[in-house]
């Protein structure tokens, strides 16, 4: 899916793209979305903005579900959600938003097990020190 970045967001992402030497703006956007989703602190807020005419980016499929859910919770579309999340992340406001992360949880029935205490058996005398060394065969 393609989305259009806001001019200020695109300029900031372009600065990051050039600093990281990425070939495409889309790759940089997907990296930033991964950083947001998995709460990575990439420390990219101090990088410069570079004006760009390229504002259309292609989002990876792995981001569509959670961006859609994030946007629908706020009544905005995926493009607006993308711009909002990236601008907040680059401004350093990572604690101000909660991103939904899908986790597949499989419920398995709890199996009741009875733990029986182990009876103490007769202690076996173990050799120590020089007796241990003599018993070893080299």
Query: What digits encode the pLDDT tens for the residues 6-33?
Result: 999 999 999 999 999 999 999 999 999 9
CB 10 within 8 A of CB 25: yes
The string of pLDDT tens digits covering residues 64-105 is 999 999 999 999 999 999 999 999 988 887 655 555 544 444
Residue 57's H or E segment, with its range, is: strand 56-58
- Predicted confidence at residue 42, as pLDDT, reads 83
Contacts of residue 50, defined as CB under 8 A and 6 or more positions apart, other chains included, come to 11, 14, 15, 18
Compute the average pLDDT of residues 38-56.
84
Residue 130 has pLDDT above 80, yes or no: no
Task: Identify the pLDDT of residue 54.
Answer: 86
Which segments of 21-93 does DSSP mark as H helices, in order? 25-37, 61-74, 78-90
pLDDT for position 32? 94
Question: Comparing C-alpha atoms, which of 4, 8, 3 is closest to residue 88?
Answer: 8
- pTM reported for the whole predicted model: 0.68
Q: Which of 86, 14, 82 is nearest to 51 (CA)?
A: 14
Query: Tell me, what's the pLDDT at 40?
Result: 87
Place of tokens 């029986």: 116
């Amino acid at each position: 899916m393609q989305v259009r970045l806001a001019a200020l967001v695109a300029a900031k992402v372009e600065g990051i793209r050039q600093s990281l030497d990425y070939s495409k703006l889309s790759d940089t956007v997907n990296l930033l979305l991964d950083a947001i989703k998995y709460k990575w602190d990439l420390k990219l807020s101090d990088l410069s903005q570079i004006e760009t005419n390229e504002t259309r980016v292609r989002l990876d499929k792995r981001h569509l579900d959670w961006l859609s859910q994030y946007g629908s919770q706020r009544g905005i579309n995926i493009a607006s959600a993308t711009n909002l999340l990236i601008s907040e992340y680059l401004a350093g406001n990572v604690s101000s938003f909660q991103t939904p992360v899908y986790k597949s949880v499989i419920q398995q029935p709890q199996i009741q097990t009875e733990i029986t205490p182990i009876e103490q058996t007769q202690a076996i005398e173990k050799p120590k020190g020089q007796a241990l060394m003599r018993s070893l065969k080299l």
